[in-house]
């Protein structure tokens, strides 16, 4: 967003949560604090977004949260993980849920599907081929890679 643009309420609430994303070798870690930080959902393609509280334990998500903070780790082979360009960086689509669900315009996106792993992944996705492009709202700092 340029300095002359006015932030929408959606952008302002996102900024107030001070979101952070760290990409490690086998998982990503997401953190948000403030009002609304516990109200995130997982995109599931054509199905309605799934609140984090309803994500099956077989997906491998690890979450710690209360009414004002969320900290979660998600393995790259967990449910509903989508790999997009650049191919070396998986992205996880989440967005805050506020009643009623926010309405975002559908925008086309190109999804690059990696070759299947040579051995079965420990988590079987509950919705294969799930991806509905919802833009990550700015400002996300560049991910920090941990080795």
**Model confidence band, residue 84 (pLDDT cutoffs 50, 70, 90):** low
30 or 7: which carries more pLDDT confidence?
A: 30
Sorted by where each begins, the domain ranges of the chain are 9-145
Mean pLDDT of the chain: 66
Q: For residue 143, what are its two tokens?
A: 């991910």
The count of residues in the chain is 147
pLDDT of residue 76: 84
Contact 123, 59 (CB under 8 A): yes
Q: Is 124 left (phi over 0), alpha (psi -120 to 50) or beta?
A: beta
50 vs 136 pLDDT, higher one: 50
User: pLDDT: is 59 or 87 the higher one?
Assistant: 59
Q: Are strands 144-145 and 62-66 parallel, antiparallel or unpaired?
A: unpaired
């Amino acid at each position: 967003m340029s300095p002359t643009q006015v932030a929408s309420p959606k952008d302002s609430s996102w900024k107030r949560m001070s979101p952070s994303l760290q990409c490690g070798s086998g998982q990503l870690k997401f953190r948000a604090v403030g009002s609304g930080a516990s109200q995130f959902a997982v995109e599931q393609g054509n199905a309605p977004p799934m609140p984090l509280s309803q994500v099956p334990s077989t997906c491998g998500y690890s979450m710690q949260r209360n009414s004002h903070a969320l900290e979660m780790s998600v393995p790259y082979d967990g449910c509903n993980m989508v790999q997009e360009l650049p191919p070396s960086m998986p992205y996880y689509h989440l967005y805050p849920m506020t009643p009623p669900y926010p309405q975002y315009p559908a925008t086309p996106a190109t999804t690059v599907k990696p070759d299947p792993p040579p051995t079965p992944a420990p988590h079987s996705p509950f919705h294969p081929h799930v991806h509905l492009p919802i833009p990550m709202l700015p400002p996300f700092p560049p991910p920090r890679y941990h080795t």
